[in-house]
Structure 1
Amino acid sequence: MRIGVPKEIKTHEYRVGLTPLSVREYVAAGHSVLIETGAGAGIGADDEVYRAAGGTIAADADEIFATAEMIVKVKEPQPTEWRKLRENQILFTYLHLAADPEQAAGLMESGCTAVAYETVTDAKGGLPLLAPMSEVAGRLSIEAAGAALKRNLGGRGLLLGGVPGVPAARVVVIGGGVVGTHAARMAIGLGAEVSVIDRSLPRLREIDELFAGRVRTRFSTLGAIEEEVLQADVVIGAVLIAGAAAPKLLTRAMLPQMRKGSVIVDVAIDQGGCFEMSHPTTHDDPTFVVDGVIHYCVASMPGAVPLTSSHALNNATLPYGLALAARGVAAIDDDPGLHAGLNVRRGKIVHPAVAEAIGHHVQKIEQAHAAHGRIH
C-alpha cells in the first residue's frame, strides 16, 4: 500500500504521523511511504533522515492526498485537508468528531474511511492509541497549572508544592483514568495536596493503592465535586467518554464561589470540554478568565512536546497502522479493536457514540457490509 504523511498544519502542531523509525517498518513490510517535505522538522527529523529510512519526499500535501491510499496524521484534518480526501482512501488519525460536526460532515462528503485513534480499543476495553497522549497531557496539565498560578500571569501567586511552613496548593483531579492518574503523579511529585474524583470505586481503590494513600479519593457526586472545587487552587478536568462529548461537570454557577486566581485546566477540550465555560485555546493564547478563575483550554496539549509525543504515539499506532496497510479496512473484520476505531465509512457515521453526539443517524457496520460487500 502507498502511505502518505502530510505535514501537520494546525496551529503550533509540531508532531508527525510517522517517525523515521516507523517509516522503516512500513517499508520493510513492503509498503511505500510518501512524506511531505518538512513534515518531521518539529521532531528534528529532516527529509534526508526520512529518505534514509526508505521514504520518498513529496513537494507538497496535494501530491500526498492525490496519490496515497492511506493518510497517517496526528491531528484531525483541517477544512483544506478534508476537501482533498476521497472515496476508498483510509484516514488514520485523531478525529474527536463528537465536538466537531463540521469536520464530520466534511469526512462524510469525502467518502473516505476514517479510523480514529481515540476510539480504537484493546482486549480489555482500554484505549491504547489515546493512552500515550493522555499520559503526556496529564503531566503537562500540572506544568500548565503551575505556570498559570504565578501572580505575573494573573494567578494566586501560589507555588504548587509550597515550602516548609507554607501550605501547598490544593489540586483536584476530576477523572481517575490515564490523564487523571498522570496529573496526580506529577502534582504529588511537586508536593501538592491532591484529590482525585471518579465514579468508579474499583478505580479509586487502585489509585489509593498506587499512590499509597498520598491522594484523597472521592466518589463522584455533584456534592463532592462542588465541595472539592470550591476549596481548590487547581482543578484538572480529565473526564472521557470514548467517542462522545465530555459531560459538563463544573458549571458557570460555581465559578464566582471559587478562589480568585485559581486555575482550571480542561484536558477534555478536544471532546468539547468538561467545564461549562470551556472553549479551545492555543499555545499562543492559552488562557482566559471568567469570574476571576483562569481557564487553560489548549487543544492538543502534547503538541508542545512533539519529540516525546510523536515517538510515544508511534509506539502505540504502529501495529494497527501496519495491519491496515496490509489488508486495508478489511483488517477490521478480524480485529474488534480496529472495528471500534472506525468512525466514518462511505459517507456514513458508523460509531454510535459519535453519531449520538452530533445528532446523526448511525449506520451499523453490518449494514455497510450488506450494502457494499466486505469492507476493504
Structure 2
Amino acid sequence: MRIGCPKEIKNHEYRVGLTPESVKELTVNGHDVWMETGAGMGIGATDDAYRNAGAEIKDGPDALFAECEMIVKVKEPQAVERAKLRRDQILYTYLHLAPDPEQTADLVKSGVTAIAYETVTGEGGSLPLLKPMSQVAGRMSIQAGATALEKAHGGRGVLLGGVPGVMPGKVVVIGGGVVGFNAAQMAVGLGGQVTIMDRDPEVLDKVGTFFENRASTRFSNKANLEEAVFEADLVIGAVLIPGAAAPKLITRDMLKQMKPGAVLVDVAIDQGGCFETSHATTHADPTYVVDDIVHYCVANMPGAVARTSTYALNNVTLPHALRIARMGWKDAMRANPHLAEGLNVHGGKVAYEAVAKELGYDFVSVADILA
C-alpha cells in the first residue's frame, strides 16, 4: 500500500503522523511511504531521517493526497486538506466529528473512508489510541492552569502549591478517567488541594484508593459540583462521552459565583467542551476571559510537546496502520472489531452512531458496510 503523511497545518501543531521508526516498520513490510518535506521538523526528525527509513520525500501535500491510498495524520484535516480527499482513500487520524458539522459534511461529500483514532476501542471498552494523548493533555492541563493563575496572565495570582503559612490553590478535576487521573497526579505533585469529581462510584473508589489522603473524591451531582467549583481556583474539565459531544457541566450563570480570576481548563474542547462558555483556542492565543473567569481551551494541547506526544501516539497507532496496509481496511476490521469501532465515515455515509445522532445524519452500521 502507498501511505502518505503530510505536514500538519493546524495552528502550532508540531506533531507528525509517522515517526522515522514507524516509517521503517512500514517499509520493511513492503509498503511505500511518502512524507511531505519538513513534516517531521516539529519533533526534530529531518527529511534525511525519513529517507534513511525508506520514505520518499515530496514537496507539498498535493501528490500525497492525489496518489496515496492511505493518509496518516494527527489532527483532523483542515478545510484545504478535506478538499483534496477522495473516494476509495483511507484517512487515519483524530477526527472528533460530533462538534464539527463542517468537517463531517466535507468528509461525507468526499466519499473518503475515515477512521478516527479516538473511537478505536480496546479490551473492556477502553480507548487505547486516545489514552496517550489524554495522559499528555491531563498533565499539561495543570501546567497551563498554573500559568493562567498568575496575575500577569489574568488569573487570581495564586501559586498552586502555596508556601509555608499560605494555603495552596484549590483544584477541582471534573472526571476521573485518564485525563482527570493524570491531571490530579500533577496537581497533587505540585502541592495543590485537589478534589476529583465523577459520577461512577467505581472510578471514585479507584482514584480514592490511589491518592489516599493526598486528594479528595466527591460524587458529581449538581449541588456538589456547584459547591466545589465556586470555591475553586482552578477547574479542569475532563469529561468524555466517546464519539459524542461533551455535556455542558458549568453554565454561564455559575461563572458569576466563582472567584474572580479563577481558571477553567477545558480538556474536552475537542468534543465541543464541557463548559457552556468554552470555545476552541490556539497555542498562539490560548486564553480569554468571561465574567472575570480565565478560560484555557486549546484544542490541540499535546501539540506543544510534540516529540513526547508523537512517539506516544505512534506506539498505539502503528499496529493498526500495519494491519490496514497489509489486509486492506475491510479485512482488517473484519479481523479486529476494535478497529471497526474507529470507522466514522465511509462512502458518503456516517458510520458512528453518536456522530450521526448529534449531527442529524442517517446512521449506517459498520456491520452493514462490511457485509
TM-score, normalised to structure 1, is 0.97
Query: Structure 2: any 5+ residue segments left out of the alignment?
Result: none
Residue 46 of structure 2 aligns with an amino acid whose one-letter code is D
Which amino acid in structure 1 is aligned with residue 218 of structure 2? R
Residue 212 in structure 1 maps to residue 209 in structure 2: no
2:360 matched to 1:359?
Answer: yes
Write the distance in 2 (CA, Å) between the matches of 1:204 and 1:229: 18
Shift in Å, 1:213: 3.0
Alignment of 1:1-376 (within 5 A): 1-330=1-330, 331-370=332-371
Q: How far off is 1:17 after superposition?
A: 0.2
How far is the alpha carbon of 1:357 from its aligned partner? 1.4
Q: Deviations over 1:187-232 (max 9, x none)?
A: 0000000000001101111001111231110111011111100000
3-state DSSP of counterpart to 1:165: coil
Question: 2:201 is matched by which residue type in structure 1?
Answer: L
Cα pair 1:208 1:214 within 8 Å, conserved: no
Q: What per-residue deviation string (whole Å, max 9, x for no partner) do you get for residues 143-191 of structure 1?
A: 0011011111111111000011100000000000000000000000000
Q: Please give the alpha-carbon distance, in whole angstroms, between the structure 2 residues aligned to 1:45 and 1:350.
A: 35
Identity value in percent: 60
Q: Distance in 2 between matches of 1:240 and 1:263?
A: 20
- Tell me, what secondary structure is at the counterpart of 2:12? coil
AA aligned to 1:99 is P
Alpha-carbon offset, residue 95 of structure 1:
0.1
* 1:368 CA drift (Å): 2.4
SS at match of 2:256: helix
Alpha carbon RMSD of aligned pairs, Å? 0.8
Could you tell me whether the CA contact under 8 Å between 1:37 and 1:58 is conserved in 2?
A: yes
Distance 1:112 1:326 in 2: 19
Q: By how many angstroms is 1:66 displaced?
A: 0.7
User: Which stretch of the first structure deviates more once superposed, 229-238 or 359-368?
Assistant: 359-368
| Contact 1:237–1:268, Cα closer than 8 Å, also in 2 | yes
- Alpha-carbon displacement from aligned partner over 1:72-115 (angstroms, at most 9, x marks no partner): 00000011111111111000000000010110010011111000
CA distance in 2 between partners of 1:335 and 1:215 (Å): 39
Amino acid in the other structure paired with 2:29: A
Structure 1 CA distance for aligned equivalents of residues 129 and 369 of structure 2: 25
1:173, 1:3 → 2: CA distance? Answer: 40
* Alpha-carbon contact 2:16-2:310 (below 8 Å) kept: yes
Query: Partners of 1:248 and 1:203 in 2: how far apart?
Result: 20
How far off its partner does 1:30 sit?
A: 1.1
Instruction: Count how many residue pairs are aligned between Structure 1 and Structure 2.
Output: 370
1:374 paired residue number = none
Q: Is the 2:334–2:370 Cα contact (8 Å) retained in structure 1?
A: no
Would the aligned equivalents of 1:6 and 1:35 in 2 still touch at CA under 8 Å?
A: yes
Structure 2 CA distance for aligned equivalents of residues 241 and 57 of structure 1? 39
8 A contact 2:162–2:169 mirrored in 1:
yes
Which stretch has the larger CA shift, 331-340 or 176-185?
331-340
Distance 1:178 1:95 in 2: 19
